[in-house]
Homo-oligomer: A and B are copies of this chain.
C-alpha cells in the first residue's frame, strides 16, 4: 500500500524545479525577445483532432481519456463495443497539432504572420526508458502565415541565443526537403524519396554499408546507389558541400530551389555574424520528413565536456500545416527545444549557474514566541526588499534548526534573542564560513542583496 506514480512519469523536487525553471526561463526570454507570444491549449483534445496526425504508430501512443458518467452501463447496452464508445478525448501528443487546431479555430482573431510560443507537457504511451518519459515538456515556437526565409534565419538565431545563454556548445545541422527531392530526382527515384531519406538518416547509427544494403533492398538500382555515394560521404566546409551539390543537382529544378533557399539562410546568418554554435549543411538529415517541405533543422550537443549526441532541438518548414483542419495555404516554420534532454546535458557538464537566489537566503532561528514575533517583523523588511527569508516555525533545538538551514542550502542564519532585540542588532552567521557578525538591518540588507 506504498504510494507510487505511473511508470514513465516523474515528480520534480525543489532542486530540480529551480533548474528546470532556469531552462524554461532562458527559452521563454529568448522567444519573447524575438516577438513570439505565448499561448496555451488544453491538455485534453478531442480525439478527432489528434487521431490520424501522427501515423499508425503515433495513434497507438495516444492516451485516451474515458468518458465520464456511467461508462460500463452504456458499454453493456452496445452489441459490439468499440474503443470509440468509451472515449472521445485524448491527452495532447505534441504541441504542433494543437497549435494548427488553434490557428484554424481562431483564424479570424489572429494577426498574421502569427508568431507563437508554447511551453507545456505532452503525453505519449511510449515504452519508458532512460531519457524517455511518458510525460515531458515541449518548448515550441512557430511562425505561421509567412513564406519569408528570414523566419528560418530568426529561428536559427533563437537557437543560437538559447544555447549561448546556456553556455552549451552545439552543432546546428541544416538540410532542405527540396534538396532531398532533387537527389531522389537525379537518381531517377523521385517516388522513393522516403525510402532513400529514411535509409541515409541512419548513417550515423548503422554505417554506410548497411545503408547501401537497405537502399538496394528497397529496390533502388545499383547505379543509383553508386551515384548516391558522393552525396552520403560528402564532407568539408558548407561552401564545399554546396558546390558539390550545385554540380550534382544542376539538372533538378527542385534541387536548385532547395540549394538557393539554403544559401540564402546561410548567407544572412553569416552577414549577421557573432553566432553561437556551428552551422553544418547535412543532407543526411531527414527528421520529420513526412511534413517538412523546406528547411530542416536539427541541433546536437557538440561540447567537449559532453558525451551526449542526441538531438536537443529540431524544427523545419511545413507548407500546409493547417490543411489537416481545412485551412489551406498557410506556410509555417517552427522549432522545438527538448527541455528534458537539455537538463540532462547541463547536469552532465555541470553547466547550471548558481541559482541559489531562487531559494531562501536567510533563516531566522526561533528562540521562543516573543523573539519569533520580533523576527517576523524583521523578516518582513527583508521580504519587502525582495529577499527570500523565513523563520523556523517552532522553537526547536538550535541543532535541528541549523540542520534545516543546511539541508535547504540556506547560506545565512540570523540569531535574534533578547539582547539583539534590545540593541536593535541582528547576529548573522554565514553557514559556509562559520563567520558571525552583528549587523544593523541596513547592513544585513546590503549583505543579502
Contact = CB atoms under 8 A, between A and B. Distances in A.
Interface of A: 1-6, 9-14, 17-18, 21, 32-35, 37-46, 48-49, 60-61, 63-66, 68, 71-72, 75, 81-83, 86-89, 91, 101-102, 104-106, 109, 111-113, 115-116, 121, 123, 125, 134-135, 143, 146-148, 150-151, 153-154, 157, 161, 268, 271-272, 274, 325-326, 358-360, 363, 366, 372-373, 376-377, 380, 383, 386-394, 404, 407-408
Nearest to A410: B35
Residue picked from A4, A6, A18, A151, most chain B C-beta under 10 Å: A6
A151 B1 CA distance: 31
Given A11-B41, A154-B376, 4 more contacts: A11-B42, A113-B392, A151-B393, A268-B373
The A interface is mostly helix, strand or loop, or mixed, namely mixed
Contact of A325 (B3, B161, B377, B392): B3
The 6 tightest CB contacts between A and B, nearest first, are A35-B390, A14-B37, A9-B42, A68-B125, A111-B407, A148-B393
A271 B375 CA distance: 12
Nearest to A76: B81
Given A83-B72, A150-B372, A377-B272, A115 B390 contact: yes
A5 B111 contact: no
A38 B60 contact: no
Contacts of A83: 66, 71-72
Residue picked from A68, A358, A372, most chain B C-beta under 10 Å: A68
Given A32-B358, A326-B1, A135 B42 contact: yes
A70 to B, nearest CB: 9
A42 B151 CA distance: 35
B42 A394 contact: no
Contacts of A363: 35
B6 A44 contact: yes
Contacts of A2: 104-105, 326
Contacts of A148: 393-394
Contact of A14 (B39, B43, B89, B358): B39
A66 B65 contact: yes
B5 A376 contact: no
